């Protein structure tokens, strides 16, 4: 039994039990939704990060781990079209991490991202454990009835994705090949480089990479960006709020497992299918730049690679003209259309057409 089959069983078990009429949506979406007051609903989501499974300790600076722990839950709140309000975070740490600077750096990264979106850390728990384990909870709000579900796409809706795809999966491959974030040469801090707690910038050092006198080579800069896509994802909070508040999205999910898997989740919940146009997928520029020469297929990374934390959403044809071009400097791309047959996701590229199977990440897939 894989992760999704288990969740489906839990969902069936909960659906037959007594439940409050205040619950709008439970298991099966990016976050649960419930009525708070006549004009306001709350959404709540939790995400677990486990050392060795969800991140590699030796490749993940604590500050970036703190950032990512909050980012993944903010992404789920954004996927509901909601505005984040408050958070809780529980951490299990081995003695070695407790007695080092780990916890301070972790919370420096966590709180910096919380400040960026006006989110208040309101609670959590601390325990000793064998491995680092982080449970990240975020609560957000929407006007009553405005939460954007996975289950409400309509035939003929156009499908869009924010930002770019494939970068985070390429970043993970680079980490597995030995690439690491490291202290930069003084002049090499790029615009995307996160600040450290002490205000210095972090950059990327790859074993064997040769930096020129003027700073990073273009390959180094591309590698740096890809590692940051994996280690410090930027949740699309602004887009989520606009798509929810303006009633632009008919359905939405965030891309955490990979486009192919997450589009299948959306289609299954909406009892519809989709047709994707491969030529329209917003492939990450750095993936294009590096992968062509390294026998990695950028299209496969964009389709099946996880953790880009972009938003995948549908818009009815009559509302396309109301979509903003960009929010917080992030673009969107049209990538396909919702179709009638349930659960059939097709993809076409240069005259060829085939079934797009869900090949994204899942736990216990064995």
- The reply to whether 307 sits near ligand ADP by the rule CB under 6 A is no
Minimum distance, C-beta of residue 269 to ligand ADP, in the bound complex (Å)? 10
Strand pairing category for 330-339 and 326-327: antiparallel
- Rounded CA-CA distance 31/315 in Å is 20
Does residue 310 touch ligand ADP according to CB under 6 A? Answer: no
- Selection from 290, 264, 277, 267 nearest residue 359 by Cα: 264
Which residues in 152-171 contact Mg ion (CB under 5 A)? none
Among 24, 29, 184, 268, binds ligand ADP (CB under 6 A): 29
d(C-alpha 20, C-alpha 40), whole Å: 16
Residue closer to ligand ADP (CB basis): 47 or 54? 47
Q: For ligand ADP, give the closer residue by CB, 87 or 256.
A: 256
The tokens describing 117, both together, are 């979106």
Output the smallest distance, CB 76 to ligand ADP, in A. Answer: 5
Site for ligand ADP in 228-267 (CB under 6 A): 256
Q: Which of 47, 105, 135, 220 binds ligand ADP (CB under 6 A)?
A: 47
Per CB under 6 A, 53 contacts ligand ADP:
no
Element (H, E) at 353: strand 352-355
Footprint on residues 188-207 left by Mg ion (CB under 5 A): none
Sheet holding 133-143, edge to edge: 23-25, 32-37, 40-50, 133-143, 83-93, 120-128
- 124 sits in which H/E element: strand 120-128
Tell me the CB-side half-sphere exposure of residue 261, using CA atoms within 13 A: 18
Q: Per-residue x/- mask for Mg ion, residues 19 to 58, rule CB under 5 A?
A: -----------x----------------------------
Three-state DSSP state, 137: strand
The verdict on 257 binding Mg ion (CB under 5 A) reads: no
Separation CA 346–CA 352 (nearest Å)? 10
- CA-to-CA distance for 61 and 76, rounded, in angstroms? 23
Size of the site for ligand ADP (CB under 6 A): 9
Of 41, 141, 254, 307, the one binding Mg ion by CB under 5 A: 254
Contact between residue 134 and residue 65 where contact means Cβ atoms under 8 Å apart: yes
The yes or no reply on residue 27 touching ligand ADP (CB under 6 A) is yes
Question: If binding is defined by CB under 6 A, does position 135 make contact with ligand ADP?
Answer: no
Q: Which of residues 58-77 bind Mg ion (CB under 5 A)?
A: 76
CA angle 320, 336, 292 (to 5 degrees): 125
Which residue lies nearer to ligand ADP by CB, 51 or 105?
A: 51
Rounded least distance, CB 219 to ligand ADP, Å: 32
Q: Which stretches of the chain bind ligand ADP, using CB under 6 A?
A: 7, 10, 27-30, 47, 76, 256
């Amino acid at each position: 039994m894989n992760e999704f089959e288990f969740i489906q069983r839990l969902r069936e078990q909960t659906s037959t039990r007594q439940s409050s009429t205040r619950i709008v949506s439970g298991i099966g979406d990016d976050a649960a939704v419930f009525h708070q007051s006549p004009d306001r609903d709350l959404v709540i989501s939790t995400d677990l990060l486990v050392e060795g499974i969800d991140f590699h300790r030796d490749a993940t600076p604590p500050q970036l781990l703190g950032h990512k722990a909050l980012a993944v839950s903010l992404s789920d709140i954004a996927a509901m079209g909601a505005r984040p309000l408050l958070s809780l975070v529980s951490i299990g740490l081995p003695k070695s991490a407790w007695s080092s600077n780990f916890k301070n750096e972790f919370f420096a990264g966590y709180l910096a991202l919380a400040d960026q979106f006006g989110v208040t850390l309101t609670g959590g728990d601390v325990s000793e454990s064998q491995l680092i384990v982080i449970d990240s909870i975020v609560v957000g709000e929407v006007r009553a009835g405005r939460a954007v579900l996975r289950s409400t796409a309509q035939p003929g809706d156009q499908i869009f994705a924010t930002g770019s795809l494939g970068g985070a999966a390429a970043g993970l491959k680079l980490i597995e090949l030995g690439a690491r974030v490291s202290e930069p040469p003084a002049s090499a801090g790029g615009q995307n480089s996160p600040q450290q707690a002490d205000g210095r910038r972090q950059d990327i050092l790859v074993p064997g990479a040769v930096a020129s006198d003027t700073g990073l080579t273009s390959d180094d800069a591309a590698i740096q960006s890809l590692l940051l896509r994996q280690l410090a994802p930027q949740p699309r909070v602004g887009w989520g709020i606009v798509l929810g508040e303006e009633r632009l999205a008919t359905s939405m999910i965030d891309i955490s497992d990979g486009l192919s898997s997450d589009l299948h989740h959306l289609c299954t919940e909406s009892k519809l299918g989709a047709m994707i146009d491969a030529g329209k997928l917003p492939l990450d520029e750095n993936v294009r730049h590096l992968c062509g020469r390294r026998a990695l297929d950028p299209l496969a990374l964009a389709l099946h690679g996880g953790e880009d934390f972009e938003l995948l959403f549908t818009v009815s044809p009559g509302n396309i003209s109301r979509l903003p071009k960009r929010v917080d400097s992030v673009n969107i791309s049209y990538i396909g259309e919702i179709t009638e047959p349930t659960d059939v996701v097709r993809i076409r590229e240069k005259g060829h057409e085939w079934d797009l199977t869900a090949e994204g990440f899942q736990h216990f897939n064995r």
